[in-house]
Amino acid sequence: MDVHLDSWLREFGPRGSEQMAAGSVSELIDVLEGKYPRLRFKIRDETGQLRRYVRVFVDGEDVSGTTGVATSLEGARSIDILHSIAGG
């Protein structure tokens, strides 16, 4: 599957899309963090859950508020990981 990180996360990981294989969002993040150690704790917090301002889209569907890191990636073609900016 193609994995895309937003421009902020690209500073710590792949610069463009990258082909990766994983069975779940959690496994995918493990692979990303293994390959790009600077991503550690940028996507997930210390408990392994997605950070509050991170959104993960599996084939265009936001799974952040539903199944989150437990989401299966079986048959998935595209994963987008976005780090939103909060403020006012």
Q: Which domains does the chain show, CATH number per domain? A: 2-83 (3.10.20.30)
Distance CA 49, CA 44 (A): 5
Distance CA 53, CA 36 (A): 20
Record the pTM. 0.91
At residue 86, does pLDDT exceed 80? no
Q: What is the tens place of the pLDDT at every residue in 25-75?
A: 999 999 999 999 999 999 999 999 999 999 999 999 999 989 999 999 999
Burial class (CB in 10 A: 0-12, 13-18, 19+), 16: exposed
